[in-house]
Chains A and B, each alone.
Chain A
Amino acid sequence: MLGTGIFALPVARQYGEIMEAFFIWLESGSLSIWVRGETGWHMAFPVIIVFHALGMGFLVGVALAINARVLGIAQGIPITIMRRFLPVALLALVVNAVSGVLLLIGYPTKALTNPVFYVKLGCIGLALWNLKWFHTHILANSVYDTGDMPKKAKRLAIASTVLWVAAIIAGRLLAYTYVKLMSI
């Protein structure tokens, strides 16, 4: 990839060389090698992937349930009590941050040279920001337990759903769109 496209520019070329040196250093490290299952436990990578899928299910699942309630499904659920599911979402987020970083350490070139990866991170960042907004403005306000949801909340619930769907699509596409697997 170096020397072609944007990497033909001197500044970009220099940046590319620095990044490549960084990838080579990271991929040669023992943690990276362990994640890829090349030494010792060959199931490391599949097990990390399983945790990443389970975390996705619970994090996105809780977010989608909140969105559904805000949009008018299951009106009988007092929305302030849905806060009690947030620790589940938080635990799932921690599991996915840890497993995600491990996967990134295993294959840094694969993810970081793929624009789709940044789309995924951007969607997750916005979706989490969105969830935080619901936590502060809706889930903490007992007025909304039985009353109508504000228009803004409904719009943000739709935005949240779209962002999670986009994050999932982008995440799944990472296996199909990478330009370079490894630098070593």
Chain B
Amino acid sequence: MERNPTLQALSDWLESTWLGNAFIDQGYWSWPMAESLHFMGLCMLVGSVGLVDLRMLGMARGIPLSAIHRLIPFGVAGFLLNIMTGSLFVLGDADQYIFNDAFRFKLLFLAVAGINMLTFYSTAFRDAKALGPDADMPLKVKLMAGISLACWIGVITAGRLITFYRP
């Protein structure tokens, strides 16, 4: 298939950046080490955002949402770790990602997860947090928790498939 020239220019530019080249120049082990960190970030994200989502969906009632929510900074740290390592992959070998359908799906799931998160924190979090430890969450909250969990599972699935959809 004919490549979009704008995307090709973007891909070429990303690969020409100092950081991308510096990452590749570190040698054979830089890629697997960054991948290992990317997997750890994934586990931190699932272990915080995933568990908060499960709590909102009705699992582990007895834990106040305000208490389990303290795990979120830990997930944010995992997410930032993955933004950093993920950027290194894209800068290091942009061609493999920009023209990769699995990567595009990953970005799509990330975008939906992001919009869902913003909606949750701007419309529902304050009320949900005030509920008691055994509270059943309102349907709206459960829906957003379900979307969040599904999106992160989608991100992991699409992410792991990237290597099988190389252009």
In chain A, what residue has the closest Cβ to B43? A60
Q: Which of B146-167 contact A (CB under 8 A)?
A: 153, 156-157, 159-161, 164
Q: Is A172's CB under 8 angstroms from B160's CB?
A: no
Q: In whole Å, how far is B51's beta carbon from the nearest beta carbon of chain A?
A: 5
Contacts across chains A and B counted by CB atoms under 8 Å: 110
In chain B, what residue has the closest Cβ to A175? B32
Stretch touching chain A among B2-10, B62-70, B114-122: B62-70
CA distance A176 to B29 in the complex (A): 9
Q: Is A77's CB under 8 angstroms from B68's CB?
A: yes
Stretch touching chain B among A16-24, A62-70, A130-138, A149-157: A62-70
Q: Does B54 have its Cβ within 8 Å of any Cβ on chain A?
A: yes
Contact of B67 among A60, A74, A176 (CB under 8 A): A74
CA distance A49 to B159 in the complex (A): 11
Q: Is B43's CB under 8 angstroms from A50's CB?
A: no
Q: Which of B51-80 contact A (CB under 8 A)?
A: 51, 54, 59-64, 66-71, 74
Q: Does B44 have its Cβ within 8 Å of any Cβ on chain A?
A: yes
CA distance A25 to B159 in the complex (A): 33
Stretch touching chain B among A26-34, A51-59, A106-114: A51-59
Chain A residue numbers with a CB within 8 Å of B157 are 50, 53-54
In chain A, what residue has the closest Cβ to B44? A64
Chain B residue numbers with a CB within 8 Å of A169 are 33, 36
Chain A residue numbers with a CB within 8 Å of B99 are none
Contact of A74 among B50, B54, B59, B70 (CB under 8 A): B70
Q: In whole Å, how far is A110's beta carbon from the nearest beta carbon of chain B?
A: 15
Q: Does B42 have its Cβ within 8 Å of any Cβ on chain A?
A: yes
CA distance A77 to B69 in the complex (A): 9
Contact of B32 among A73, A85, A164, A176 (CB under 8 A): A176
Q: In whole Å, how far is A146's beta carbon from the nearest beta carbon of chain B?
A: 11
Q: Contacts A68-B74, A84-B59, A176-B32 given: A61-B64 contact, CB under 8 Å? A: no
A77-B63, A168-B43 known, 11 other contacts, Cβ within 8 Å = A46-B161, A54-B153, A54-B157, A64-B47, A65-B48, A73-B71, A77-B68, A77-B70, A84-B59, A171-B39, A172-B32
Binding site for A on B (CB under 8 A): 28-29, 32-33, 35-36, 39-40, 42-48, 50-51, 54, 59-64, 66-71, 74, 133, 153, 156-157, 159-161, 164
Binding site for B on A (CB under 8 A): 46, 49-50, 53-54, 56-58, 60-65, 68, 73-78, 81-82, 84-85, 88, 164-165, 168-169, 171-173, 175-176
Provide a sorted-by-A list of 29 A–B residue pairs whose CB atoms are within 8 angstroms: A46-B161, A50-B161, A53-B42, A53-B160, A54-B153, A56-B39, A56-B42, A57-B43, A58-B46, A60-B46, A60-B47, A61-B48, A64-B47, A65-B48, A74-B71, A75-B67, A78-B62, A78-B67, A82-B60, A85-B51, A85-B59, A88-B59, A164-B43, A168-B43, A171-B39, A173-B36, A176-B28, A176-B29, A176-B32
